[in-house]
Amino acid sequence: MIGIVMFFAALALLLSGFPVAFIFGGVALLFGVFAEGPDIFAFMPFRIQSIMQSTTMMAVPLFIFMGLVLQKTRLAEQLLEAMAKLFGGVRGGLAISTVLVGALLAASTGVVGASVVAMGLISLPVMLKYNYEKSLACGTICASGTLGQIIPPSIILIILGDVLGIPVGDLFKAALWPGLLLIGAYVLYILIYAFLNPASAPALPIDRNISRRTYYGQALKAILPPLALILVVLGSIFAGVATPTESSALGGVGALILSLLYRQFSWKMLYEAALETVKVTAMVFAILLGATAFSMAFSYTGGDYIVEEVLTGLPGGQMGFLLLSMLAILVLGFFIDFVEISFIIVPILAPVADALGIAPIWFAILIAMNLQASFLTPPFGFALFYLKGVAPVSIRTTDIYRGVVPFILLQLVVLVTILMFPGLYGLV
Amino acid sequence: VATLFNPAQADEKVYRLKMAETWQTNFPIFGDAPRNMAAMAEKMSNGRLKITIDSANKHKAPFGVFDMVRAGQYDMGHSASYYWKGKVPNTLFFSTMPFGMTTPEQYGWFYQGGGMELMQQVYAPFNLMSFPGGNTGNQMGGWFQKEINSLEDIQGLKMRIPGFAGEVLAKLGANPTNIPPGELYTALERRTIDALEWVGPGLDLRMGFHKIAPYYYTGWHEPATELQFLINTRSWEKLPADLQEILRVAMRTASYDMYIQNYDASATAWAQMKAEFPDIQIKTFPAEVMTALKGANDELLEEAAAADPLAKQIIESQQNYQAKVRVWTNISDRAYLNSLSD
Amino acid sequence: MMLLKLERAVNRVSDLFGKIAAVLFVLLLFNVFYDVLSRYVFNDVSIAMQEMEWHLFALMFLLGVPFTLRADAHVRVDILYDRLSTRKRAWIDLTGTLCLLLPFCLLVGWYGVGFAHESYLLGETSGDPGGLAYRWLIKAAIPFAFFATALSGLGLALKSVNTLRGQSMADIQGNHP
Ligand code: NA
Ligand code: NA
């Protein structure tokens, strides 16, 4: 009961505009201490230490730094502009380029904070510069930043594999087609939206004075170096040089090398990028610190039992069960983070799914898609906070909320196709 | 006043203990041990002893169990003694040792050979009691991308192998490497590391390592990994004598049950792996490597014994017991298995 | 004037943490890079260097939190906040700091002290071969960072009070070079 009140209290206080991280922390304190006494906070240092030692999270600052260096040296801008130019007069080119770059980053990290923030730094300023509609720009970034959850390697898939007892490699393979379909759906949506609303995503101006050949030639020349950098990051994982987390450091150092090659490097630039990295990273981790206090107070005051009760009461029937469990996960995803869902909720659902003859891999992919959507769902979707944290002041929270809605719907559509036609994806 | 001394009423009092486990919710086998123990204790006590278990996803501190039980945030813990090596070096000896005793031998040491007493001696200064908490049996030596044919192959071997066994390998020139569990699969597949050790078929199967590494080496470094029940001494002393006894029996029974459960799970999982991937090759390190590893192990133990008198006492107790019990193992189980044609 | 000077002094401390964290980040970047290079090229792994990665990483983001608070870069949901007057915003920041931020940071910091102290008494080290010793130092970063954030929160409270009194840092900018 306290858990539910806590949730609504946090929701109401968020509207005050006080920093999100300290609202989570403060609400946890008020309710936790009220219900259990101050000693409940003796658990906090342990939880904080877990975050400090989660080496996969190191990808967050490292990717942010790479994004910042690419941004400060204008290499990112050139990359996206050049990519968009390849689309010629087609509208929405920048947004599509953002999705594609996001997909590439997604293939090297599975950490949402890392890719959303990096994409926010890299592509938001460019889209705004070309007068993209704010909500479209924000939605595109959040959606492509969360692609990392479904495109392998991904933390969600690793955890789900562990919980459901499916080898990680099998899950990685199974997630590939749904991930690609999702990318396709985003691109298609952007094309259609831009076609219907010309002002929302203008095509980049074409320079009439140069030949088509030079035009595309110049574009390719601008694309290659930063694209090569991203491919090196990916390649280092495939070649066994680095783990996914370490690859992000190669990206950071690689970006510095690029800046040297382009004579854009200066100590001032390095210092500013580092200081900015600290700021953005601290923003992300402050939310995680606040959220861990919140989930601590939530579960130690009995919240986890409420959740368990609701779930054990789900009715049977294969489709009925799948629909209801997906709905339950989506709703819970509003306020419980995906690790909790994977470890607490999935084990409750898994035996039922098994008894109903639902293939574990199918079930896992459905859950992963669903959890990906939960990063985007207002008001508590972490991707939204992260983008807000790096966006210029002209971007308001409502722009972000409005922007993600169509992308959430797209994810639901893809989710439904997986639900209806698992055979197409080779999941059964 | 009379009711105060009514034994029937005193019996009704329900004692509740909170336990933190190192494992995630529903973690198979390891997590079954504390769950079975709690269920047994509750039944045997007719509901007077209720133990609730918080998994790592609730307390978020898998390796904080020692501290949390010590501080009384939890009454009990389920974990493994060698995880506390960095805090209290002598806790290392109560899980398993490379080249040490097998599971029945080690249970012999715990219950008949003075092991339990030494364990309490190590834990007592920290306001803790420790009990055996379930045994994995012999763990496999790990999954290797390359074959080990000589000491040279160990040179520069990049292997995920934490703790004391990592130190032993490092002495021969191997490179123990830290890789977060979530990245182990990718790291082994892409050969960022050459090898890794996990547990045994029962728990390795779900990690999928058998799909990406050709060699499965037999064990040497964890012949009898014993998990652990930790209890805060104050929480223990609050229990009436009968509940203490019920708890003791439940822990001991659950430990033995887990040993059997994992033995069976390993056999079943191995059959499955072998059927799906008939090309997996079971390998054993060559004698040259085993001798060198044993030498390195002995050196490290000598260093530990020289540094601390209690460590010396424990190591000697283990070595003496092992020398005695191994003679029996050799003429019983080993002789029996050797005498069979396969 | 007194409160403004106090605010300025507190801000300087928070800024210093940001600068230290920026240096720590650059060290982290090259630490990870070095570890990859030495493993892949020279086939050499140092557990101490690998552990140094998360030490730098943790210290970096922990010290970053007070700095980010001072830089007003923690995420706010601005649906209503944007439309409020400066005075109303100052009231929200003051109340939020006193009722939510300060109690949270001080309580976590308080328990963090015991946490680090335990580790110091045990002489805790890494359990892995060649790992780092003095684990209490990195554990002590928790109370340190939370107290630092509380201090930075005090800066925010002072700023709000000064705003409500109709004063701002700009009033004393001329007082120092
Ligand atoms: Na990914
Ligand atoms: Na092991």
8 Å CB contact of C40 and A242:
yes
Average pLDDT over residues C89-99: 97
Enter the ipTM: 0.91
Contacts of C47 in chain B (CB under 8 A): 176-178
Are B114 and B339 a contacting pair, CB within 8 Å? Answer: no
How far apart are the CA of A350 and the centre of ligand 2, in A?
27
**C129 pLDDT above the threshold of 70:** yes
Helix H or strand E encompassing A256: helix A244-261
What count of other Cβ atoms lies within 10 Å of the Cβ of residue A70?
Answer: 27
Greater confidence, B186 or C35? C35
Average pLDDT over residues B177-191: 86
Q: pLDDT value at position A67?
A: 86
Ligand minimally distant from the alpha carbon of residue A237: 1
Query: Both tokens of residue B3?
Result: 């009711």
Sign of torsion, CA A14 A16 A19 A24? negative
Contacts of A55 in chain B (CB under 8 A): 178, 180
Interface residue A67 vs chain B (CB under 8 A): no
Query: Residues of chain A whose pLDDT is less than 50?
Result: none
**C115 pLDDT above the threshold of 70:** yes
B4: which DSSP letter? G
Residue holding tokens 């547990």? B199
8 Å CB contact of A170 and B58:
no
How far apart are the CA of A89 and the centre of ligand 2, in A?
59
Query: Both tokens of residue A50?
Result: 């877990």
DSSP A140-158: HHHHHHGGGGTSSS-HHHH
8 Å CB contact of B60 and A46:
yes
8 Å CB contact of B206 and A167:
yes
Query: Both tokens of residue A33?
Result: 């201490």
Residue holding tokens 């990870």? C32
**B1 pLDDT above the threshold of 50:** no
How far apart are the CA of A144 and the centre of ligand 1, in A?
11
Helix H or strand E encompassing B338: helix B335-339
Greater confidence, A388 or C169? A388
Interface residue C54 vs chain B (CB under 8 A): no
**Position B307 confidence tier, pLDDT thresholds 50, 70, 90:** very high
Mean pLDDT computed over every residue of chain C: 92
Ligand minimally distant from the alpha carbon of residue B136: 2
**B6 pLDDT above the threshold of 70:** no
Of B70, B83, B178, the CB nearest to C50: B178
Ligand minimally distant from the alpha carbon of residue A149: 1
**C177 pLDDT above the threshold of 60:** no
Query: Both tokens of residue C61?
Result: 């983001």
8 Å CB contact of B175 and C127:
no
Q: pLDDT value at position C176?
A: 47
User: How many A×C Cβ pairs under 8 Å?
Assistant: 210
How far apart are the CA of A371 and the centre of ligand 1, in A?
14
> For the segment B28-73, what is each residue's pLDDT rounded down to a tens digit?
899 999 999 999 999 999 999 999 999 887 898 999 999 999 999 9
User: How many B×C Cβ pairs under 8 Å?
Assistant: 54
d(CA A123, CA A109) in angstroms, rounded, equals 18
Query: Both tokens of residue B73?
Result: 């945030």
8 Å CB contact of C129 and B163:
yes
> For the segment B288-301, what is each residue's pLDDT rounded down to a tens digit?
999 999 999 999 99
Question: Which residue of chain B has the CA closest to A237?
Answer: B190
8 Å CB contact of C130 and B170:
yes
**B11 pLDDT above the threshold of 80:** no
Are B72 and B235 a contacting pair, CB within 8 Å? Answer: yes
Q: How far is B76 from chain A (nearest CA, A)?
A: 15
Average pLDDT over residues C27-37: 96
Biggest alpha carbon–alpha carbon distance for chain A: 74
Beta bridge partners of B54: B20
How far apart are the CA of B338 and the centre of ligand 1, in A?
50
Average pLDDT over residues C157-161: 95
Residue of B155, B168, B178 best to disrupt the C interface, most CBs of C under 10 A:
B178
Interface residue C96 vs chain B (CB under 8 A): no
How far apart are the CA of A157 and the centre of ligand 1, in A?
9
8 Å CB contact of C50 and B175:
no
Q: pLDDT value at position C175?
A: 47
**B208 pLDDT above the threshold of 60:** yes
Ligand minimally distant from the alpha carbon of residue A110: 1
Q: What is the dihedral of CA B70, B74, B80, B86, to 10 degrees?
A: -40
8 Å CB contact of B87 and C124:
yes
Q: pLDDT value at position C150?
A: 97
Q: Is the pTM of this model over 0.80?
A: yes
Q: pLDDT value at position A330?
A: 79
% of residues, chain C, pLDDT over 90:
80
Contacts of C41 in chain A (CB under 8 A): none
Q: pLDDT value at position B327?
A: 97
Q: 3-state DSSP call for residue B201?
A: helix
Contacts of C64 in chain A (CB under 8 A): 278-279, 281-282, 285
Backbone φ and ψ of A263, nearest 5°: 55, 35
CB neighbour class for B67 (10 Å; exposed up to 12, middle 13-18, buried from 19): buried
Cα A15 to Cα A285, A379, C71, distances in angstroms: 21, 10, 21
| Per-residue burial over A23-40, b = 16 or more CB atoms within 10 Å of its CB, e = otherwise | bbbbbbbbbbbebbeeeb
**B86 pLDDT above the threshold of 60:** yes
**B182 pLDDT above the threshold of 70:** yes
Q: pLDDT value at position A83?
A: 87
Question: Which residue of chain A has the CA closest to C117?
Answer: A45
d(CA C73, CA C52) in angstroms, rounded, equals 27
Q: pLDDT value at position A28?
A: 94
8 Å CB contact of A167 and B186:
no
8 Å CB contact of B178 and C125:
no
Question: Which residue of chain B has the CA closest to C51?
Answer: B178
Relative to beta strand B142-144, strand B215-217 is antiparallel
CB neighbour class for B327 (10 Å; exposed up to 12, middle 13-18, buried from 19): exposed
Are C53 and C31 a contacting pair, CB within 8 Å? Answer: yes
Contacts of C49 in chain B (CB under 8 A): none
The residues on B that touch C, with CB distances below 8 Å, are 67, 70-71, 82-88, 156, 158, 162-164, 166-167, 170, 175-178, 192
Q: How far is A11 from chain B (nearest CA, A)?
A: 23
Q: Chains that contact B by 3+ CB pairs under 8 Å?
A: A, C
Contacts of C54 in chain A (CB under 8 A): 52-53, 55, 58
Asked whether the bond before A379 is cis by omega within 30 degrees of 0, the reply is yes
Interface residue B28 vs chain A (CB under 8 A): yes
**Position B2 confidence tier, pLDDT thresholds 50, 70, 90:** very low
Average pLDDT over residues B298-310: 97
Q: pLDDT value at position A340?
A: 66
The separation between CA B317 and the C-alpha centre of its own chain, rounded to angstroms, equals 19
d(CA A369, CA A418) in angstroms, rounded, equals 10
